[in-house]
Amino acid sequence: MAIRDYLCRVAAEITDASLSNIKTKEQWLAERPEHYRQYLEMQGVWDFPIAETRNPPKVTVTGVVERDDVIIEKLYYESLPKFYISGNLYIPGNLESPAPGLIYVCGHSDTQKVHYQPHTRRWAQLGFVTLILDAIQLGELRGIHHGCYRYGHWQWYSRGYTPAGVEMWNAMRGIDLLQSRDEVDPDKIGITGISGGGATSWWTAAADERVKAAAPVCGTGTVKAHVKDLTWDGHCDCMMFINTYLQDLADCGALIAPRPLMVASADRDGIYSIESIRETYGKIKRIYDLCGAGDDCQLVEIPGGHSYHRISRTRIFSFFMKHLMGKEVPPASIKDIGEAQETFDTLRVYVNGFPPDELNTKIHEHFVTLASPPEIKDKDELLNKKTELVKTLKEKTFRHFPKDPCALDVKTHFEYMNGETKLERLAFTPEQDWRIHAKLVRPAESQDKDSPILIFLKSPTSERWEFEGFTRSLDQSWIRMSVECRGIGETAWGQNLQWHIRRNAAITGRTIASMRVYDALRAIQMVRSLPGVDSRRLTIAAKGEMCAAALYTALLDGTLEAVILQNPPATQDKSGNPDGTGEAIEMLNCLRYTDLPYAAGMLYPTDLVFVGETPENYKWTADLYSKLGIQMYRVKQLSEYKS
């Protein structure tokens, strides 16, 4: 099967399964707490003080602009220590008592709060105290949204990092700010925005029950449509959470129920098909219906492309006036937005330069807590930590592994002799729709007993005789097998597809490397069924980027005799090529729990063998083995390894 067909299938499975098991209100209320916990985890804020009563953020006001109908405060606040978020606070000029507060989150416009100022001004004219926030991608003090999209920061997936979580947290801290203001009724908070702001409206309303009404605009669609229609290729990394639990946007939207929700989207949006918008809305609306709040979940379809329309703006104005002000005002009677009146210089927040200690430009390096080297005092503790790590990785990194594995359906396609060796060309099915190949090399003469086997994971860029060269010095009594995991050999895809595959695989809860780990595990299962193989003496080997797959395969299997690595990557916490080519070693969330040197240290009692030079990062592994009296092998060729 082609990789595109496979990704379309698993994406459809995610979308089709979304909320499908929820049949009653009682069931939803019982399952919602775990659903919510999973959601926060996928946004990277599982260890943030979400449920705690927080102090308002530290705010710095750098100027005030007074107009007849509105007062505009130019301010920034610390969302996290040294992480500064700029915005403008629009206060109605004739305000006499606390008013509803509104968070307006910006889309991907280069001028952010300047571009969207007609919206926030109109909100203030209607009586809402409105805080418009710069997103870090294109605000005054810029961080990065386009890590995987543009800059090759593929390690974001390994980190479990998404800028969606950053913007969600910034908006939540913006709510903290609004609730601290005397001008704001703290029990009447809403959120809205378009495109990236539409996505952040979803994220924030799902996470924060203080949001009493939400209206995401042009930010709605399904994983199924994103992959099938290639629309994910046009999306920023902030438009999706890390999909650990194989969920869709509807799963997030259901968390908003029964609070009022208006979904506004265009019928010719180039990055959200109208069919996917309707499907997402339908799934969420069903949860609202179960909760007895169906009338408070609305869909507004507007004509045209990825943009606002007078219809959507006035409908949203009317929606918030009803649910936050208690006023029934027909959309047709509400005046639309006017022209922009303020310049960038007028609305600029950082009039005296940026805070010198800012972390905005590198918040992606600080937002998610990564695993530290585990402290292990003896072999028993090592084995206990190994068991715990494997359990965690199966849940957080390899959750996409099929729960009911398909039949391997092993077939020998070709047998031949080459001197003193017998060779076979095999094929097997590791996962539905995939048929991958292996080359088996045996001694020609029958052995008196079953033989050990070395399973070599071929590299995506391997030379023709890579396998033969790697195993040349191995004792010839061994059976040898090379495996072409998916994307290698006969299932290879062009490098021009690599960027697309890496991003689209991630939104379906997997990566190229994690899919290859599954293939390798299934290859081991297949090998154990072969005649003449000593199933107690299996070794896995790899070169370069495939060492990452070999390490995790050995860790998950737990029964291999040895893992042999040549030129392994030093870490999974490193950037790659912006076009997606090169090493694809990222695996969702793994760096929250381990890294390649730590995983290697957990392999005991499996032998750990390095061929050639070893990256400096593995000094931790060597020191651990030395401390515990475990031998770690360093060899120049395989014949030096005594198994």
295 and 404 belong to one structural domain? no
Contact 544, 459 (CB under 8 A): yes
Q: Is the predicted pLDDT of residue 1 greater than 80, yes or no? A: no
Chosen domain end from 365, 389, 420? 365
497 and 566 belong to one structural domain? yes
Q: Report the b/e string of 166-201 with b at 16+ CB within 10 A.
A: bbbbbbbbbbbbbbebeebbeebbbbbbbbbbbbbb
With respect to residue 597, please indicate whether it lies within any of the assigned structural domains.
Answer: no
In one-letter notation, the amino acid at residue 198 is G
358 and 439 belong to one structural domain? no
**169-179 pLDDT per residue, tens:** 999 999 999 99
Burial of 537: CB neighbours in 10 Å, binned 0-12, 13-18, 19+:
middle
Pairwise CA distance, residues 607 & 643, whole Å: 8
**The total number of structural domains that make up the chain:** 2
With respect to residue 563, please indicate whether it lies within any of the assigned structural domains.
Answer: yes
Q: Is the predicted pLDDT of residue 423 greater than 90, yes or no? A: no
Strand, helix or coil at 189?
A: strand
350 and 465 belong to one structural domain? no
Name the phi and psi angles at 375, rounded to 5: -95, 120
Structure tokens at 181: 């203001």
Burial of 2: CB neighbours in 10 Å, binned 0-12, 13-18, 19+:
exposed
360 and 404 belong to one structural domain? no
Can the peptide bond before residue 258 be classed as cis, meaning omega within 30 degrees of 0? yes
Query: Alpha carbon 341 to chain centroid distance?
Result: 39
Contact 621, 594 (CB under 8 A): no
With respect to residue 598, please indicate whether it lies within any of the assigned structural domains.
Answer: no
Range of the domain at 407: 400-588+607-619+631-640
With respect to residue 388, please indicate whether it lies within any of the assigned structural domains.
Answer: no
Over residues 490-502, mean pLDDT = 95
Backbone CA torsion sign across 169, 595, 556, 223: positive
**232-276 pLDDT per residue, tens:** 999 999 999 999 999 999 999 999 999 999 999 999 999 999 999
348 and 446 belong to one structural domain? no
320 and 407 belong to one structural domain? no
Query: Which residues have C-beta within 8 Å of that of residue 243, sequence separation ≥ 6?
Result: 14, 42, 223, 506, 507, 508, 509, 588
With respect to residue 394, please indicate whether it lies within any of the assigned structural domains.
Answer: no
334 and 204 belong to one structural domain? yes
DSSP code, position 371? P
With respect to residue 376, please indicate whether it lies within any of the assigned structural domains.
Answer: no
Which pLDDT score, from 0 to 100, does residue 613 have?
Answer: 87
Question: Parallel, antiparallel, or unpaired: how do β-strands 99-105 and 184-194 relate?
Answer: parallel
Task: Supply the CATH number for residue 135's domain.
Answer: 3.40.50.1820
360 and 457 belong to one structural domain? no
Q: What kind and span of H or E run contains 95? A: none
420 and 353 belong to one structural domain? no
119 and 188 belong to one structural domain? yes
Over residues 8-28, mean pLDDT = 98
Contact 146, 62 (CB under 8 A): no
Contact 108, 79 (CB under 8 A): no
Query: Which residues have C-beta within 8 Å of that of residue 333, sequence separation ≥ 6?
Result: none
Tell me how many degrees the CA angle 4-548-244 measures, rounded to the nearest 5: 55
Which pLDDT score, from 0 to 100, does residue 641 have?
Answer: 86
Pairwise CA distance, residues 502 & 155, whole Å: 11
Query: Which residues have C-beta within 8 Å of that of residue 269, sequence separation ≥ 6?
Result: 218, 277, 305, 306
**196-228 pLDDT per residue, tens:** 999 999 999 999 999 999 999 999 999 999 999
Average pLDDT of every residue of the chain: 95
With respect to residue 576, please indicate whether it lies within any of the assigned structural domains.
Answer: yes
295 and 418 belong to one structural domain? no
Can the peptide bond before residue 216 be classed as cis, meaning omega within 30 degrees of 0? no
Residue 642's pLDDT band, with cuts at 50, 70 and 90, is: low
CA dihedral 503, 506, 512, 515 (to 10 degrees): -160
Q: 69: which strand partners?
A: none
The beta-strand segments (E) located in 94-227 are: 99-105, 129-133, 184-194, 211-217
End-to-end alpha-carbon separation of the chain, Å?
Answer: 38
Structure tokens at 467: 């396998």
Which pLDDT score, from 0 to 100, does residue 446 have?
Answer: 63
Helices 163-180, 196-207: axis angle to 10 degrees equals 70
**What global pTM score does this model have?**
0.95
Residue 462's pLDDT band, with cuts at 50, 70 and 90, is: confident
With respect to residue 593, please indicate whether it lies within any of the assigned structural domains.
Answer: no
